[in-house]
């Protein structure tokens, strides 16, 4: 039943994508110094409009193609190439989701701490948002062995994986460990 799991992941990514413009606007209001950012986050800092077409849309399409393949409606000529593309797309999403989770204050900015009730509500919303993003990240990587969609395991079937993608695979595996440790600290 990995089709239902992937459909759920795709729907959650779409939900998250709709909230990103507000997140980015709040982040930009804080005047981040883009020079201190690195890689993909630096690109987004300079060009926030690039987030959807370079991260969300390619991943959503890849997940949709995965569903079609599992339903028998789409066949791949080169499964390894499809999985390599998925590895790259998931990696880019995980980099962004990690940044979003660590900066949930831009999703629900906190009012003055002296307004305790509003401040507490904002903090609760931030924590819930961060948990949602972490859970989504864990599901898309395949960290939870009780799921049917285990992309990290599926990616290990790729023959002749280039070194750069092997590093991506290791990064994703390390993210699973980080997410589990973060969950234990709660």
Domain boundaries, the chain: 2-184
pLDDT in tens, 14-31: 999 999 988 888 888 887
pLDDT at 27: 85
* DSSP state string for 156-178: TT-TT--HHHHHHHHHHHHHHHH
pLDDT at 108: 83
The number of beta carbons lying within 10 Å of the beta carbon of residue 177 is 10
pLDDT at 87: 95
Output b/e per residue, 130-149; b: 16+ Cβ within 10 A. Answer: bebbbbbbbbbbbbeeebeb
pLDDT at 1: 61
Q: What is the pTM of this model?
A: 0.90
**Cβ neighbours of residue 173 under 8 Å, at least 6 residues apart?**
152
pLDDT at 172: 94
pLDDT at 134: 95
Query: In whole angstroms, what is the distance from residue 180 CA to residue 166 CA?
Result: 21
Instruction: Report the first-to-last Cα separation within the chain, whole angstroms.
Output: 30
Residues of the chain with pLDDT under 70: 1
């Amino acid at each position: 039943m990995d089709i239902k799991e992937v459909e759920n992941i795709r729907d959650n990514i779409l939900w998250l994508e709709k909230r990103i413009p507000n997140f980015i606007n709040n982040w930009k209001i804080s005047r981040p110094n883009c020079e201190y950012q690195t890689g993909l986050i630096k690109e987004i800092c300079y060009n926030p409009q690039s987030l959807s077409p370079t991260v969300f849309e390619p991943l959503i399409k890849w997940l949709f193609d995965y569903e079609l393949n599992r339903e028998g409606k789409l066949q791949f000529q080169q499964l390894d190439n499809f999985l390599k593309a998925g590895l790259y797309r998931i990696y880019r999403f995980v980099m962004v989701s990690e940044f979003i989770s660590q900066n949930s204050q831009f999703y629900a900015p906190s009012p003055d701490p002296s307004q305790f009730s509003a401040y507490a509500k904002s903090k609760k919303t931030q924590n819930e948002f961060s948990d949602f993003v972490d859970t989504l990240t864990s599901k898309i990587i395949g960290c939870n062995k009780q799921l049917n969609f285990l992309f990290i395991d599926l990616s290990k079937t790729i023959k002749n994986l280039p070194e750069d993608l092997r590093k991506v695979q290791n990064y994703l595996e390390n993210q699973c460990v980080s997410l589990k440790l973060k969950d234990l600290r709660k």
